[in-house]
């Protein structure tokens, strides 16, 4: 999984954002960071690298669970960043759905959408954590 420089840089970015969310975020950010981290680790365990051109049902299940977690955060949170993160995660689930319905996008576009939308979730989480941290600092709580 970490055999290329791209995957190592991506892993470092994920660890940095999740660490930032756990250290400086509030409950909403911590829940999302925990769910993203668990989903990331689970997806590394279940992905099938030998069959990259067919639907990976376990990856779809993990991404649907992440979408449900983000949807619950949209429902219960007063913040706006979970809406953006949910939209990016919905792109990931839609890309999986295209593969399962046998609508064959090129494999490079499939992986590009999944990777960039995953970074979209992380960016939304990082921005949300930053604003939660700034609100606490402005209120004198930190």
Q: Is residue 142 part of a domain?
A: no
pTM value > 0.85: yes
> How confident is the model at residue 124, as a pLDDT?
97
Q: What is the span of the domain harbouring residue 57?
A: 6-137
91 compared with 108, residue with greater pLDDT: 91
Report CA dihedral (116, 118, 124, 129) to the nearest 10 degrees.
Answer: -130
| CATH assignment at residue 54 | 1.20.120
> How confident is the model at residue 55, as a pLDDT?
74
The pLDDT tens digits for 17-64 are 999 999 999 999 999 999 999 999 999 999 877 776 777 889 999 999
φ/ψ of residue 11, rounded to 5? -65, -40
Helix (H) or strand (E) holding 101: none
Inter-residue contact 128 to 29 (CB < 8 Å): yes
Q: Is residue 133 part of a domain?
A: yes
- Residue 36, Cα to own-chain centre: how many angstroms? 5
DSSP 90: H
105 compared with 130, residue with greater pLDDT: 130
């Amino acid at each position: 999984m970490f055999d290329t420089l791209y995957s190592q840089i991506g892993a470092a970015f994920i660890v940095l954002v999740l660490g930032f969310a756990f250290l400086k975020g509030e409950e909403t950010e911590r829940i999302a960071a925990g769910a993203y981290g668990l989903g990331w680790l689970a997806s590394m365990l279940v992905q099938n690298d030998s069959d990259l051109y067919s639907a990976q049902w376990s990856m779809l299940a993990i991404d649907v669970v992440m979408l449900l977690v983000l949807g619950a955060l949209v429902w219960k949170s007063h913040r706006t960043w979970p809406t953006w993160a949910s939209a990016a995660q919905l792109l990931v689930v839609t890309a999986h759905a295209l593969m399962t319905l046998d609508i064959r996008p090129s494999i490079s576009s499939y992986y590009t959408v999944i990777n960039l939308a995953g970074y979209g979730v992380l960016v939304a989480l990082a921005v949300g954590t930053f604003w939660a941290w700034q609100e606490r600092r402005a209120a004198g709580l930190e």
